[in-house]
């Protein structure tokens, strides 16, 4: 389970709009920070292998992007401006998530493994009170801590409710709506801000009695990753009745609905590649992978710039952002397979790079 610094909760105790805007910017950075670690594992999967696992991870990534947009909608509705285009927006991997307690979980860039899903992905998404369905083994100890991600969002929601309607600007401001992104919530007041925040919490955690999302049709992120960890889809218990405990209403069905893991279906990309500040860098100038990695990071940085503009009053650029995401996916898959790197399996370092040094090297 991820625990956040107590300073985040203490700042919200001021009860003013500035503290809420700062907390929402922190939430945007937190939502984004989970995406590269999920994508790195996804990109490491050999096409045609581990298809069920790939589908699960991709579904979570899509909803993490939705959560980022929902937080930006709330921030914009309160008169703030989300910031995505800055070097320190991208965390350093391996390392803690933004706002997390330093001694807590360290998040890496690693090829897919069951240990990565169980020890990292499930820990990121673990609810405060997870439902312990049969077959699940409690591998993650829940130590006492002052603030979880879910509680952080609940504190933001409570402070917004206390600020009241006068905290919101007039009319929809810089909003991404459901016509542009499925399940997006246009935020204009306390009620719609609460709806957006509840969507984030429930898609990540489920509820206290059900693993299902309240918004959406699937299971919450923690239970989707648990399907990978336990090797079977989560299915309703046909013998459950009205008096059945919540923990016994579902089970992971490895026999009839397996989620198999094939270790041979994962490219052996390096763990935690890094170029900036690394001595020596994983991909030094002239080395195999350097050009491809630089090109990826340049596209990734460009994507953050486009998302920054999209969420700051230019929603028409969302299509451009989606196209760039598809380009990134293909670049990363070509790197992992060795198609563009002399048959060497290479992984992207996910670093801020506003200048395309890769293209310069290619033409030198």
DSSP state of 6: H
Q: Using 50, 70 and 90 to split pLDDT, how confident is the model at 160? A: very high
Higher pLDDT, 262 or 244: 262
- Res 136: pLDDT: 34
Q: How is residue 198 written in tokens?
A: 């509840």
**Mean pLDDT value of segment 5-26:** 88
Minimum mean pLDDT range among 2-11, 36-45, 345-354: 2-11
Secondary structure letter of residue 339 according to DSSP: T
Place of tokens 């209403």: 249
**CA dihedral (157, 152, 32, 183) positive or negative:** negative
pLDDT band at 290 (very low <50, low <70, confident <90, very high): very high
Residue (of 354, 352, 355, 338) closest to 292 by Cα position: 338
pLDDT at 285 over 90: no
Strand ranges, E, within the chain: 232-236, 250-258
Separation of CA 168 from chain center: 27
pLDDT tens, 187-241? 999 999 999 999 998 887 655 556 765 555 578 888 999 999 999 999 988 888 8
Q: Which two tokens stand for residue 147?
A: 């603030």
Instruction: Output the DSSP codes for 226-261.
Output: HHHHHTEEEEE-TT--TTS-GGGSEEEEEEEEE---
pLDDT band at 148 (very low <50, low <70, confident <90, very high): confident
Nearest to 174 by CA among 86, 89, 74: 74
Percent over 90 (pLDDT), the chain: 65
Tell me which residue of 44, 109, 113, 94 sits closest to 268, measured CA to CA.
44
327-342: pLDDT as tens digits: 999 999 999 999 989 9
**143 pLDDT exceeds 80?**
no
What percent of the chain has pLDDT above 70? 89
Where in the chain are all domains bearing CATH 1.20.1260.10?
Answer: 6-265
* Domain 6-265 CATH superfamily: Ferritin, core subunit, four-helix bundle (1.20.1260.10)
Average pLDDT over residues 140-162: 76
């Amino acid at each position: 389970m991820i625990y956040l610094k107590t300073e985040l909760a203490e700042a919200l105790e001021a009860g003013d709009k500035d503290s809420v805007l700062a907390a929402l910017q922190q939430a945007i950075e937190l939502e984004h920070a989970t995406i590269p670690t999920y994508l790195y594992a996804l990109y490491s999967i050999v096409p045609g292998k581990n298809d069920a696992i790939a589908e699960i991870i991709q579904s979570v990534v899509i909803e993490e992007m939705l959560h980022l947009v929902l937080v930006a909608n709330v921030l914009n509705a309160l008169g703030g401006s989300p910031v995505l285009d800055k070097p320190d927006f991208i965390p350093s991997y391996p390392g803690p998530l933004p706002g997390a307690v330093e001694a807590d979980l360290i998040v890496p860039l690693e090829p897919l493994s069951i240990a990565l899903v169980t020890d990292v992905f499930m820990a990121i998404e673990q609810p405060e009170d997870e439902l312990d369905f049969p077959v699940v083994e409690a591998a993650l100890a829940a130590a006492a801590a002052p603030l979880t991600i879910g509680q952080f969002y609940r504190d933001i929601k409570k402070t917004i409710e206390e600020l009241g309607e006068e905290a919101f600007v007039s009319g929809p401001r810089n909003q991404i709506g459901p016509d542009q992104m499925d399940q997006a919530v246009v935020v204009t007041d306390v009620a719609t801000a609460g709806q957006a925040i509840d969507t984030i919490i429930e898609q990540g955690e489920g509820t206290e009695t059900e693993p299902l999302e309240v918004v959406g049709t699937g299971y919450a992120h923690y239970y989707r990753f648990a399907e990978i960890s336990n090797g079977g889809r989560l299915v309703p218990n046909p013998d459950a009745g009205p008096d059945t405990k919540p923990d016994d209403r579902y089970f992971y069905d490895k026999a009839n609905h397996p989620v198999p893991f094939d270790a041979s279906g994962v490219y052996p990309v390096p763990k935690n590649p890094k170029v900036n500040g690394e001595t020596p860098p994983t991909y030094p100038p002239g080395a195999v992978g350097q050009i491809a990695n630089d090109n990826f990071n340049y596209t990734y940085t460009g994507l953050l710039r486009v998302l920054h503009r999209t969420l700051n009053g230019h929603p028409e650029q969302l299509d451009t952002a989606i196209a760039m995401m598809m380009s990134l996916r293909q670049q990363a898959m070509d790197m992992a397979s060795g198609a563009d790197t002399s048959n060497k399996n290479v992984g992207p370092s996910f670093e801020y790079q506003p200048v395309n040094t890769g293209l310069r090297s290619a033409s030198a």
